[in-house]
């Protein structure tokens, strides 16, 4: 794999440690998912996150919980109402979702995937806790690789193509320029077209310039970019642009969800400001 591709992807992993600690703090993850680095970064950023919450009503952890629980809700619906029995979570990081859903649904096949170093760490974590088995597995993948055993095509080839599937990416999309991420979405839509039913769940932060805290949002975006040694571009301006973008990549049905509007049903407090994060449910 070319060095440029590896460098373009590798900056994502540090944020996985921070979010892993957030999931644990909010009782969504077992203590095994906490890393010393995640705990350290959370403590280091606490004055910043407190100031953003107190001064501007921007609660970073609330945004993370909104997207995580909204994706959980859509996945639950797919399993319980549409009979989905296989799930792929790409860029799984230290997400506890695979552990929680495999415990809740014994018939579920759950495949987690991430860059090689993070995948190895996740595999060791799950294996060490006795959670890894034939129906819950971890593989290496690089979403920018167009061929080879770490490509998206190779990952999808390991699934049962006679059964419906749900593919999830969380905390991934906004680390890449739109051209690169739309390339991934196009390859994903092509791969998912081989299944009888396929759903893609992801989240993104659109460029909501009309939001009352847009200036503070841009400052936060720049901070995230520095912390993760990369950029954090905001894609699309509104719901219509999101739908058009996903359809251009090959998804026929696109639903844009605002988790802040569903806070009550997600078990979260009512949002003080309009939401910043959107969860996308796209089907081929």
CB count in 10 Å sphere of residue 13: 17
What sections of 57-176 are H helices per DSSP? Answer: 60-82, 97-104, 116-128, 152-157
Percent of the chain surpassing pLDDT 90: 66
Within 13 A of 23's CA, how many CA atoms are on the CB side? 27
Q: For residue 58, which of 41, 43, 45, 40 has the smallest C-alpha distance?
A: 45
Report the side by side order of strands in the sheet with 278-283: 136-140, 109-114, 86-90, 165-169, 198-204, 278-283, 253-257
- Indicate if the alpha-carbon torsion angle 213, 214, 219, 220 is positive or negative: positive
3-state secondary structure of 114: strand
Q: Which one of 53-57, 134-138, 224-228, 270-274 scores highest in mean pLDDT?
A: 134-138
Q: Which residues contact 22 (CB under 8 A, 6 or more apart)?
A: 42, 61, 64, 65
Residue 52 burial (10 A CB sphere; 0-12, 13-18, 19+)? buried
Q: Please give the domain boundaries of the chain with CATH numbers for all domains.
A: 3-283 (3.40.50.150)
Q: For residue 190, which of 151, 232, 228 has the smallest C-alpha distance?
A: 151
For the stretch 185-203, pLDDT in tens is 999 999 999 999 999 999 9
pLDDT category at 135 given cuts 50, 70, 90 is: very high
Looking up tokens 């953003």 gives 52
Using the 8-state DSSP alphabet, how is residue 269 labeled? P
CA pair distance 73, 201, nearest whole angstrom? 11
Instruction: Report yes or no on whether pTM surpasses 0.75.
Output: yes
Q: What is the pLDDT of residue 277?
A: 86
CA pair distance 254, 283, nearest whole angstrom? 6
CA pair distance 119, 123, nearest whole angstrom? 6
Is the pLDDT at 5 greater than 60, yes or no? no
Q: What is the pLDDT of residue 93?
A: 93
Rounded to the nearest 5 degrees, what angle is found at the Cα of 73, between the Cα atoms of 176 and 60?
50
Using the 8-state DSSP alphabet, how is residue 198 labeled? E
3-state secondary structure of 232: coil
pLDDT category at 3 given cuts 50, 70, 90 is: very low
């Amino acid at each position: 794999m070319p060095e440029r591709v590896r460098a373009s992807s590798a900056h994502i992993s540090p944020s996985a440690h921070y979010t892993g600690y957030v999931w644990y703090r909010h009782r969504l993850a077992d203590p095994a998912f906490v890393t010393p680095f995640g705990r350290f970064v959370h403590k280091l950023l606490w004055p910043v996150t407190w100031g953003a919450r107190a001064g501007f009503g921007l609660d970073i952890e609330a945004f993370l919980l909104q997207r995580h629980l909204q994706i959980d809700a859509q996945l639950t619906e797919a399993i319980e109402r549409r009979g989905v029995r296989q799930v792929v979570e790409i860029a799984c990081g230290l997400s506890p979702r695979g552990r929680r859903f495999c415990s809740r649904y014994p018939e579920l096949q759950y495949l987690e995937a991430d860059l090689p170093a993070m995948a190895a760490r996740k595999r060791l974590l799950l294996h060490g806790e006795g959670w890894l088995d034939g129906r819950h597995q971890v593989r290496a993948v690089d979403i920018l690789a167009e061929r080879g055993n770490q490509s998206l095509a190779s990952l999808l080839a390991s699934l049962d193509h006679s059964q419906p599937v749900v593919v999830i990416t969380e905390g991934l999309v906004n680390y890449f320029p739109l051209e690169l991420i739309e390339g991934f979405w196009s390859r994903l839509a092509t791969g998912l077209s081989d299944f009888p039913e396929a759903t893609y769940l992801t989240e993104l932060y659109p460029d909501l310039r009309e939001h009352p805290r847009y200036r503070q949002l841009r400052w936060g975006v720049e901070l995230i970019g520095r912390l993760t040694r990369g950029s954090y571009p905001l894609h699309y301006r509104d719901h219509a642009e999101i739908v058009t973008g996903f359809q251009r990549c090959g998804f026929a049905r696109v639903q844009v969800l605002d988790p802040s509007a569903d806070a009550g049903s997600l078990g979260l407090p009512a949002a003080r400001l309009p939401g910043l994060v959107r969860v996308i449910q796209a089907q081929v």
